[in-house]
Amino acid sequence: MSGFKARTDTSDLDSVEPMDIDEECEDVAEENEDKEFEKLLWSIDDDTLFHPFGLTNHGTDAGKTVFVTWNEEYLLNFVFKRSKRSKKISLTKVRLPMPNGEIVNDMFILEMNALLLMRSGNVYYFSSVKSMHAVDWLNDAGGGVRCMALAPPIGFSCIRYVAAEKALMLEMYQDVPDIGRNAPALLLRCDVTFDDTNLFNCAWEDERYTLVTQQVTADNLNFLHCLLMEEVELEVGQWLHIFTVSSNVFALIAATNERNAVDNDNNTSVDYHIQLLCTYATNVDSVQLDCAERRCLIFLQCGTIDIWYYSQLICGLRRMQHYTGSQYRHQVYAASTRCFYFTDEEQVAQLHFSYDEQTDSCRVQEHYKVIPGMVACTWVETQRMLVCLSCNNIFYKISFERTASASRSDLCASFSDAVTTEYENFQRLYELTPARLKRLLARAELVDELTQMPLQMHAAVEQECVKQQLLGVASNRHLYRYLAKARLVYSVQLPTAMQQDVIVMYANNNYQLHHDSYVALIYMQISRNDVLHDGDSLWHLYIDVDCSDSYMLHIPNTLLKQQLCIVIPLKRSENQLLAELVLRLYTLVCLESDFVAVSLPIDLEINAATYAELFTCYKRCVTICNNYDIQKLIENFLNQKQKKEIKTTEMDAEKSSTAEVAHMLKHTLHLPATCPFSAVAKCLHVQKREAQSFECYFMSTAIKITHMPEGNYIILESADAVALCYLKLHLLNSMPELLEKCNEAAAKDRQQTLNQLQCDLTCCTNALLQAHTLDESTASQDSDTVSHAMQLQQLKNIYSKLRQDFHKLYS
3-class SS letters over 446-493:
HHHHHHHHHHHHHHHHHHHHHHHHHHHHHHCHHHHCCCEEEEEEEECC
Q: Which amino acid is at 312?
A: Q
Residues 653, 729 within the same domain? yes
What is the predicted pLDDT for the residue at 438?
84
Query: Do 751 and 723 fall within a single domain?
Result: no
Residues 652 and 751 in one domain: no
> Do the bridges between strand 74-82 and strand 549-554 make them parallel or antiparallel, or are there none, so unpaired?
unpaired
Same domain, 483 and 574: yes
Q: To the nearest 10°, the Cα dihedral for 54, 60, 62, 64?
A: 0
Rounded Cα gap, residues 37 and 55, in angstroms: 24
Q: Is the pLDDT of residue 299 over 80?
A: yes
> Which has the closest alpha carbon to 501: 482, 477, 468, 523?
523
Cross-strand partners of 505 = 566
Identify the band that residue 5 occupies on the pLDDT scale cut at 50, 70 and 90. very low
Q: Which of 204-218, 397-411, 673-687 has the lowest mean pLDDT?
A: 397-411
pLDDT band at 406 (very low <50, low <70, confident <90, very high): very low
Pairwise CA distance, residues 172 & 126, whole Å: 20
Same domain, 523 and 568: yes
Residue 715 shares a structural domain with residue 749: no
d(CA 632, CA 514): 18
pLDDT band at 147 (very low <50, low <70, confident <90, very high): very high
Q: Is there a domain that residue 711 lies in?
A: yes
Extended beta strands in 98-166, E state: 104-109, 114-118, 123-128, 131-134, 142-151, 155-162
558 within some domain: yes
Judge whether 729 and 721 are in contact, CB under 8 Å. no
Backbone angles phi, psi at 71, to 5 degrees: -140, -160
The parent domain of residue 636 ranges over 630-739
Per the CB < 8 A criterion, the answer to whether 725 and 577 are in contact is: yes
Residue type (1 letter), 445: E
Q: What integer is the mean pLDDT of 606-615?
A: 88
415 contacts: CB under 8 Å, gap ≥ 6: none
757 shares a domain with 732: no
pLDDT of residue 641: 61
Do 559 and 655 share a structural domain? no
Give the chain's largest Cα–Cα span: 178
CA distances, 717 to each of 661, 679, 723, 738 (Å)? 10, 18, 10, 19
Query: DSSP letters along 616-667, please?
Result: ESS-----SS----HHHHHHHHHHHT-HHHHHHHHHHHHHHHHHHHHT-EEE
Please give the helix or strand (H or E) that residue 717 lies within, else none.
strand 713-718
Q: Is 792 helix (H, G, I), strand (E, B) or coil?
A: helix
Helix ranges, 4-153 (H): 33-40, 136-139
Distances (CA, A) of 499 to 160, 186, 314, 503, 559: 93, 105, 102, 8, 15
Position 13 scores a pLDDT of 32
* Listed residue (280, 163, 153) closest to 215, CA to CA: 153
Residue range 307-335, pLDDT digits in tens: 999 998 888 889 999 998 778 888 999 98
Same domain, 578 and 475: yes
Integer angstrom CA distances of residue 477 from 265, 472, 585: 97, 8, 11
- What is the per-residue DSSP string for 166-205? TEEEEEEEE--SSTTTSPPPEEEEEE----SS-TT---TT
Burial of 676 (0-12, 13-18, 19+ CB in 10 A): middle
Nearest to 4 by CA among 70, 91, 105: 91
Domain endpoint, select from 555, 588, 605? 605
757, part of any domain: yes
**CA 353 to the chain's CA centroid:** 50
Query: Is the pTM value of this prediction over 0.85?
Result: no
- List C-alpha distances in Å: 625 to 119, 148, 508, 553: 96, 104, 15, 24
Residues 231/275, Cβ–Cβ less than 8 Å: yes
Range 682-697 average pLDDT: 80
Residue 157: per-residue pLDDT:
94
High-pLDDT (> 70) share of the chain, %: 72
Residue 654 pLDDT class (50, 70, 90 cuts): low
- 192 or 407: which carries more pLDDT confidence? 192
Q: Is 291 helix (H, G, I), strand (E, B) or coil?
A: coil
Domain-embedded: residue 712: yes
pLDDT of residue 65: 84
SS3 content of the chain, % helix, strand, coil (to 5): 30, 35, 35
Q: Is residue 542 part of a domain?
A: yes
The SS3 call for residue 781 is coil
Q: How many domains does the chain have?
A: 3
Is the predicted pLDDT of residue 504 greater than 70, yes or no? yes
| 395-398: strand order across its sheet | 16-18, 395-398, 385-390, 374-380
Residue 518 phi/psi, 5° resolution?
-150, 170
Q: Is residue 610 part of a domain?
A: no
* Same structural domain, 540 and 660: no
In the prediction, which pLDDT does 660 show?
46
| Helices 434-475 & 33-40 angle (0-180, nearest 10) | 80
Question: How far is the C-alpha of 230 from the C-alpha of 377, rounded, in Å?
Answer: 37
Q: Are residues 721 and 803 in the same domain?
A: no
Residue 38's pLDDT is what? Answer: 45
As a whole number of angstroms, the distance between CA 662 and CA 664 comes to: 6
- Look at residue 353 and tell me whether its pLDDT is greater than 90: yes
Using CA atoms, how far apart are residues 760 and 234, in angstroms rounded to an integer?
154
Residue 29 lies in a domain: no
Mean pLDDT check: name the lowest of 89-93, 274-278, 532-536.
532-536
pLDDT of 206 above 50: yes
CB atoms within 10 A of CB 60: 12
Residue 364 within any structural domain of the chain: no
Domain boundary among 571, 589, 605: 605
| Distances, alpha carbon 99 to alpha carbons 79, 142, 620, in Å | 21, 17, 104
637 and 583, same domain (yes or no): no
